[in-house]
Every structure is written in structure tokens, then in C-alpha cells.
Structure 1
């Protein structure tokens, strides 16, 4: 009965219960529906609230402007028939460059084929290596992408907007009541960040590499410096970052680099700070450009049931090198934090503006489990971001970064969720990575059942 569900929702709101969702396999669109039906039934048995599902751009827009969601509608239908709510991820990124990716799903072919003609559409590191995990923010306003008619050209933002509108039209009857959250992919792994630590180049705990060496980003930086401070010009050219000194590239540690050296590093100079602020602000602008379009499509009509659907932004839990002077791994990914500039506080203002949910990862990690060399602090990072979100009254949700293998990791998630609840600002939800046959069979199913119970 409808009133039972209403009472359950009211109880959860009053008592701060954290609902648990489970991420579906990355290749769900290719799996037999019978298998997913059995797995969904098991999730219902143990009290899971719903599922999260990647809706891959390349699978749904195989040719420009032609959308096909037929691989996903039956999966959504299965979940809805069982009373499972849905968190849909509009995945404008590739699959295969992050730890735990077991399949490879590329960007649409009509995008990849533009690589030679328009190299700036992909992020580029100092050595000229390109990342194909997602489109560069340089492509946001560049009209180089084809549309259905074949005459008019689109920007990357146009393509994201067209895809979101197609999804809205396809699933409008389910938005807000069954599809309760739309997570918008804004970078690699669906996270708002630069692709600074792709597995093809990087190993933990390397700080990664700056991704701003494409033609348009360099031009933008030249304009930024010329507009703000001509004293940072060297021989008529702006100072661009130089972090490599030992030939270690992505796996360098900050004290091994010229840019982040604690004694004479560029990062402590006015020029270095200006660069890092520009680098982070470009990422924030990229996020706002996408968020504004999502807000317009999904929240445009205040009287529509669709207005009840959450818009969400995922932020990576980059916890390594946290206890270093410049928090270099975060800074290189675009999350610059200093006395004068704080990426996470700027992010909070952005999410508040569009009434969006902040999804944060690494909830299963504990400081004492990490390597000393990595100078990690996932616990401090969670507390820091949670505090910013709670002070801004932003909905704050969480995920685990890697698949949970030990009971201690489940317990750590429960401990953090309980801490948030006791502090008076509970998690809006927790999404567990990832649904599998092992997860829905004993003894793991009992572990999941206890986890769902304890999160309440």
C-alpha cells in the first residue's frame, strides 16, 4: 500500500536512516535479464533500497543524434517491478582505465574518429600523451562534433545536453518516483576531475600528471595571465608547470619534483598558486556548465514529478599525499586546497546553486591500513568534505572506492555513517560497489544483510 511506503520514508527522514543501493555490473546492458532478475530478488530480500546503473553514452548514441535506450528499459523495468529505486549514471566517459573495471567501453565512434583532426578534444599531459577516458573541457564550447542532420555542428556541451534530454523524454514517466537520482558524468570514472591517474600510466601512490597541455587550454592560460598579471610572463610567455625531474612521470612523489618541492617548489610562488587556481577553476566551470544544463532539463518544471529526481555529482576520494604540503595528488586532479583557495568549498557553492547531491568515495578506507609512504588520510578527507557539505546544507552521499573484500571494510563504512548520523547530518544514501553472483550468495549475502541493517 502507498501509505506504508510513505510511513517508511517519513521514518527514515526523522531517524536519519542511510538507505543502501548496490551498483550494477558495468556491462549490465549485455547480461541476461534472467540473471539480473535473480540478483535483484536477492537484493530485495536483504532490504536494499535500490540499484545504481551506468547508462553508457556510446551504447545509447551509436550515431550522432540517434538515441537507443532499449538495452536499459528492461533492466529498469525489472527493478521497478521489485520495488527497487534507481540511481542512473549518465556515463559520458569510458570504462577500462580505473581499478575494478572488468570491461572496456569506449566513447562513441563518431567522437573518437575526430582525434586526428581536433586533438584538443582530449586531455593532454606534458609529454603530449592523450587521455581517451573522456572529452577534455576544451571541447565544451568547440563546435566540431556532428549532429543527426549532418550539417550543423555541436559542442561537447550540446552533446551532453541532447543526451540528457533524450533520456528525460524516454524515461519521464519514471523520473522522480522510480528513478530517484541522475548522476551526471563530468570526467573519468564519472567523477568531476582531470584524468591525472589513469591505470595505463599510474600506480599508487604517484601524484599523477597535469592534464592541461592541449592547444586550447594553453591558449586559455595565456589569456588568463595576460588579463590578470603580466609580471608572471617569462620571455613573453606565461609560466607553465614543470613537475618532472626524475623521469618518473605519473608516479613521481611531490618532493621529487620541481613544481611541488617543499623547499623551492614552484607551487609556493605567486605564479604557481595562480596556475593551480586557474587549473581548478577551469574544472569547476566545466562542472557548472554541465550542471546548469542538467538542472534545466530535469528541474525545469517545478510542478512536474520529475522535479523530485536528484541531480548528483561524484567526487573522487583522492586520499593519498593528503599529509603533504600541497596535497599534490588532489591538486593535480584539479582539487587544489590552500589557505587562499579551497576546491571543496567552491564545489559546495556550485552544488548548492543547483540543489545537487555530493557523492564522495573512499568510505571503506581507514588511515592505519594505508602505506606510510603514501601519507594518506581517507578519514580526514571524509571528515573535511562532510563538514563542508553539512555546513552548506548539501545532500551528501557516499560510495566505496574499491570492492569490499573484508568484514572490517564493511564495518568501517558503518562507523563513518554512524559518525555522520551522530554529528546530526546523516548520509543521504550509500551505494555499494558492486553487484555480482558472489554478493548474492552465502556467506556474502548474509554480510550484505547485516550491513544494510546496521546502516540503519
Structure 2
């Protein structure tokens, strides 16, 4: 029933006209490449995403890149460059304090290990390199991040790094929207339960692998069990097993059998082991966030902080004892609560509670969650409930008063309409308040570009590019035959703008263009022409528009409510704003009114494969003389081809 209801919700979402600015998204960001190798390409990508309304760029600040040469030897040169390019593009920065390795995770295309000197720094204190690493149930050690069971040693290193970052970039505090804190592998609050060090034994879609087999981890488990039951004998009695000493208290000797037999649910030992393992991760989250608050107490004292949890969506619908096992191996959920109840957030109450614990703190803490683009696939090989999980976590965040923002889990998820439909569904019916797209190259062009533009137009709470963005509609009457489409070009007259407005439109064409973001991308015929159309301009096809565009594309509309096609569902056809008749072609955009002349701009229509340009007109009451139509930004403007008449009204 839940899946069925979500499908209905999705259908409702897609039927809603994407014209009004919603009130539930405050940011629309993109992730920078893990490491930029082509600066020219990156600059072009920045310009492209800026033009569609993206607000900021998330950047991994790799500990292993900055402090590779030695303890306290910081090299910020790469970040000086990338931050400046982001600033030059007019975008804000969301740095990630990346205390994890770059490489070894899904989609990684770089190799930046954490600083090599960290592994031997504490040997004179009796802490070996192995003590600093996670060790799996298979005996393999992870080098992706330092184990949480040695936070007592490395937290000071993280704090020094964050303090150095704040000191170096204090002057850019006004450009930094949030600092995200890496809390584990891939920057997420989790164990490396499905990572490369286990040689494929624990990857998707397996149950994962427990990572609690290092000596510090085992000692912590022993201390926790004895503290709970008072003594080794108390542990023995409650678990119903013979224990001769504390050293007999250990993680499962055969984790496969432990899970397959259902011990995690059905035995006191199993429930306790999962609870300790889970709580150890929660405690690490608190320590990391407390540490960040202490570190960022200067120029960044008022900057939001955030952290991310992953959408581990596989093994969720299993019918055997492996159900929810992948999430447990990652440490995200315990096994001693009702995992089928909204009252526990379906197991996510504790981890959402890490963020909620700072609700009364002056510093806001934002929770980030992945997998917004994914479907439920309970009967597939992954036994996935990804979309359900997206709602479970968001609903729990809302219940605990936590600000939550979303991401796509896989970069390919934003290159096709189905992924974006799921993202729109999540923002329409759940509490997500911001989006960060993985990764910038996926939305710099193509389907990802125009769908993110559409998303921004629909959901962002305020105009992301500055200026004065307002919904603007143009109707142009003109009859056509099959194979003909209507376009307009427009902007400001070059000579007028050069002489009266101080613009240099001869050198920089787009000085006289109107920045736009299309609200209607549902017409399959015109969507390709609109997706890369960022300006109403005089110059024809833009570099990112689909082949065949002659300017900015319009859609055929009618006032006949019995018409089988509608603008709301199909992108053309019946449109309530059209009160005039058939053949009124419509442009529906958000336009930056600050680029106009006191709200006015010019336009002229063109019909492809036929009549071509309309004749000059002589419209009355315009700000200067022109042979073109004049429209007003933020209004409904109605014209007829080859006619000087104009009707301009409000919404």
C-alpha cells in the first residue's frame, strides 16, 4: 500500500504546474569533482550551473591533500584556486572537512589517502597503526579513515585542521553557506561496512561486514557489556553463555551465521552487540560535531554545520533474517527497537537524534541524506526500499525538528527523467529543504541541466542568482501548420542600452539579454530547445540548446478546457491563463527583472519552417522607440503577430 500511495503522490506531483515558487528548499548546490584536473572545463561548468540558478558548490577539502607533507604542514594552494574560481562564478562554497580517503568508493576517480604520518604518530604511546584502523570480520584492515575507537587520539588532529582552515579562509566567511564534517568513509557517518578493503565480500547487495574486530574495538565492547551488567558473571548470566573472563566477550566469531540465524534479533547477546556497535557510531557523531563547534569559533562561528548519512537501501525487503542487515553492518540502526514503526523512525531515530541534539544550540546542524533519485525495488536483486527510506528518514527529521537536505546516491541518477521525478516527489511530499547534486558535470548540460533548472524554478524559496526574479508569461497569437513551431528573440536594443544604460552590448552580447529559467519543460517537442536556453536574447541558438532552435521556444495553448492535452500534464494544450482562444503560443519563465528597462523588454516572434519573422510593429506607451513588441517583466503579456496591440495584466 505504501508503494502504491507514493506512485499516486508522484503522479500528482507531475500534474502540478511547475510555476509557483515553493517554500521548502533553501539551497540548490552541486558537488565539485573529487579533484579538478581541467580548470577550463570546470569554469565552463560553473558558468552553466550558475545560469540555471544553482546557489553553491560543495568541495571536498582533503585532509590527505592539504597536510600530506607532515603534521601541521598545511598546503592550501589547490583550494585557493578552486575557491577563487567558484567565487568568480558568483557562487557560494560548501566545504567538506574530508578526513577520509579519496578512492575506493563507488564513483571515486582519484587517489588521495589520508596523511601517511598519522599511522605511526602514536607508536611511542603504545598505539600501533593497526589500533588506528577498522578491522573487519574477515580480518581485513581499512585505511580509508581512522577508526572511531581511536578518537581519543585523532580528534585533536581534526580540530587543528579545521582551525587552520578557518584561519586561512576567514575572509571568505560570507561566501560559505555551510561546513560539512566528514564522519567516516565517503564522508558519511557510518562504518566501512561495504568498502574495498574486504575485497568485494561485503559490497552491494550483500549484508555487509561488521568492522569491530580491532583490539580497541573489542576492548570497548567488553567494557560496555560489563558496565551494563556489572560483572563478567552478570554478562554471562544475561547472555546465557559461559564466560570465564572479560577476554571471552567478543564480536561474533562467525558473523554470517550470526545474521543468518537471526541472533541479532532473537538473542540478548545479538541485540547487545548491535546496540553497542550502533551506539559507538552515534557517540562518534557527537564527538565529531562537538569538535567542529569548538574549532569553528572565529570567522565561521555563525556558519551552519552539517553531516551526512548514507541511503543503504539494500537487504531492506529480505524475507529471511538478513532483513535490514546491511544497515546494521554500517551502524545506522539497532536491532532492539521496532524497525517497522514510524515511532522509531523505522530504526533511524537515534542517528537523526545526533543532529536533533543541537536544536537548542546557537549553531544550526543540518542532516544530509542520499538516494533521493532511487525507486523501491523490493523484489529485485538488491531487495531495495530506497524510496521508502528517503521518506522514513525525512519524516523522522521533521518529527525531531531537524533540517534535512537531500542528495542523489549515484551520479547517473540525475541524467534521466525517472531519477528527477523521484527527487521532485521527495521534495513535494517530504521535509527536504535543500538539494546537492552529485556531480557538477551531470547538470552542466543535457537532461540533468534542464531538469535541475526546472527543479530550482519549482522549489527554491528565493531567487538564487540575486537580482529580481519574477514569473513572466508571454502569449503570442499565430496560426501554424504541422511541422511549424514558434520562437521569440528579445532583450534590449543595443544602441539604447549602450547610450542610456552604460551597457556594452556590442562587446558582451548578453549584457542586453534577459536571464530566464523555463517553468514548462513538459512538452517533449520543445523541451530540448528549452533545457539549455538561459537567456531571451537576439542571437539565435545558444551553445547548450538542442538542434533546430531559432531562439526561445513557445508552446501552443488554447482556452478550450475540453482539449485532450493540457499544459499542466503535457506542456501544451489547455492553459487556464489563456483566456483568449486557440493558437496563443505561451512562454512561461522566471525572468531577472533587474536586467530590464524599468521592467520593460523587447521581443519579436519567428515561425519555423514557414512564415519566419513577423513584421515590425509600433506599440504605444513604450520606454523607447522600436519596431518590436514590448513586454513587462513579472506580468502576463498578450500579443498578436504583425500587430501593434498589446494587453498586459497581472497574475
TM-score (norm 1): 0.83
1:198-218 residue CA offsets vs partner (Å, 9 max, x unmatched): 144233210111001001111
Alignment pair present for 1:358 and 2:352 = no
Provide the residue aligned with 1:294 in structure 2. 292
Give yes or no for contact 1:124–1:131 (8 Å, CA) kept in 2. Answer: yes
CA–CA distance in structure 2, aligned partners of residues 295 and 53 of structure 1:
20
Q: 1:117 to 1:19 in 2, by over 3 A?
A: closer
CA distance in 1, matches of 2:224, 2:334: 20
Q: CA deviation at 1:353?
A: 2.5
TM alignment of 1:98-113, pairs within 5 A: 98-112=105-119
CA deviations over 1:336-388 (Å, ceiling 9, x no partner)? 244538662222332123331110000000114x6524321012211111111
Q: Secondary structure at the match of 1:133?
A: coil
Moved more, 276-285 or 102-111: 102-111
Distance 1:371 1:122 in 2: 36
Give the 3-state SS of the residue equivalent to 1:71 in structure 2: helix
Q: Work out the CA distance in 2 between the residues paired with 1:94 and 1:259.
A: 30
Corresponding residue number in structure 1 for 2:224: 224
User: In 2, are the aligned partners of 1:313 and 1:357 still within 8 Å (CA)?
Assistant: yes
* Aligned equivalent of 1:259: 258
Corresponding residue of 2:165? 167
Partner of 1:87: 94
Match of 2:270 among 256, 269, 272: 272
CA shift at 1:53, angstroms? Answer: 0.6
Question: What are the residue-to-residue correspondences of 1:16-95 with 2, within 5 Å?
Answer: 16-28=24-36, 31-62=37-68, 63-95=70-102
| Alignment partner of 1:315 is 2:309 | yes
Aligned-residue offset at 1:111: 2.2
> Matches of 1:22 and 1:126 in 2, distance apart?
36
Question: Are positions 1:210 and 2:220 aligned together?
Answer: no
- 1:43-442 alignment to 2 at 5 Å? 43-62=49-68, 63-112=70-119, 117-141=128-152, 155-175=153-173, 177-199=174-196, 200-201=199-200, 202-229=202-229, 230-231=235-236, 232=239, 234-236=242-244, 237-244=248-255, 257-261=256-260, 265-298=263-296, 300=297, 306-324=300-318, 326-340=323-337, 344-354=348-358, 355-368=364-377, 372-403=380-411, 404=413, 405-420=415-430, 425=431, 427-436=432-441, 439-442=443-446
Question: Larger relative CO (CA 8 A, sep 6+): 1 or 2?
Answer: 1
Measured in 2, the distance between the counterparts of 1:136 and 1:126 equals: 15
Structure 1: distance between partners of 2:266 and 2:388: 23
Aligned pairs, number: 405
Counterpart secondary structure, 1:259: helix
Equivalents in 2 of 1:371, 1:64: separation in Å? 50
Structure 2 residues without counterparts, runs of 5 or longer: 1-19, 230-234, 339-343, 359-363, 461-651
Q: Is the 8 A contact 1:258 1:266 kept in 2?
A: no
Match of 1:152? Answer: none
Find the aligned partners of 2:371 and 2:311 in 1 and give their Cα distance. 5
Q: Deviations over 1:225-246 (max 9, x none)?
A: 22222223633212521444xx
User: CA separation in 1, counterparts of 2:390 and 2:83?
Assistant: 32
CA contact (8 A) 1:348 1:389 kept: yes
Distance in 2 between residues matched to 1:126 and 1:70, nearest whole Å: 40
Q: CA deviation at 1:156?
A: 0.8
Q: Please say if residues 76 and 86 of structure 1, whose CA atoms lie closer than 8 Å, have aligned partners that are also in contact.
A: yes
- Is contact 2:332–2:351 with CA below 8 Å preserved after alignment? no
SS at match of 2:203: coil
Of stretches 178-187 and 102-111 in structure 1, the one that deviates more from structure 2 is: 102-111
CA offsets per residue over residues 312-340 of structure 1, 9 Å max, x none? 11001011112245511000110124453
| TM-score normalised by length of structure 2 | 0.59
Query: C-alpha distance in 1, partners of 2:128/2:25?
Result: 52
Mark the CA change 1:19 to 1:266 in structure 2 (over 3 Å): closer, same or farther: closer
- In structure 2, the CA distance between the partners of 1:53 and 1:70, relative to structure 1 (3 Å rule), is same
Separation (CA, whole Å) in 2 of partners of 1:268 and 1:66: 51
Range moving further from structure 2, 200-209 or 156-165: 200-209
Bigger share in helix: 1
Three-state SS of the structure 1 residue aligned to 2:352 is: helix
CA distance in 1, matches of 2:438, 2:225: 43
Cα distance in 2 between the residues matched to 1:443 and 1:197: 31
Q: Give the Cα–Cα distance (whole angstroms) in 1 for the partners of residues 154 and 435 of structure 2.
A: 31
- Structure ID, larger Rg: 2
Q: Secondary structure at the match of 1:40?
A: helix
How big is each residue's C-alpha offset from its partner over 1:31-63, in whole Å with a ceiling of 9 and x where there is no partner? 343332222111111111111110100111121
Partner SS state of residue 61, structure 2: strand
Matches of 1:17 and 1:190, distance apart in 2: 23
1:95-147 Cα distance to aligned partner (Å, 9 max, x none): 22211111121111212456994311010012321011111012211xxxxxx
Unmatched runs of 5 consecutive residues or more in structure 1: 1-10, 142-154, 245-256
In 1: Cα distance, 2:151 partner to 2:326 partner: 25
Kindly tell me: are residues 406 and 267 of structure 1, through their superposed partners in 2, closer, same or farther at Cα, counting changes over 3 Å? same
The answer as to whether partners of 1:194 and 1:333 remain within 8 angstroms in 2 is yes
What's the Cα RMSD here? Answer: 2.3
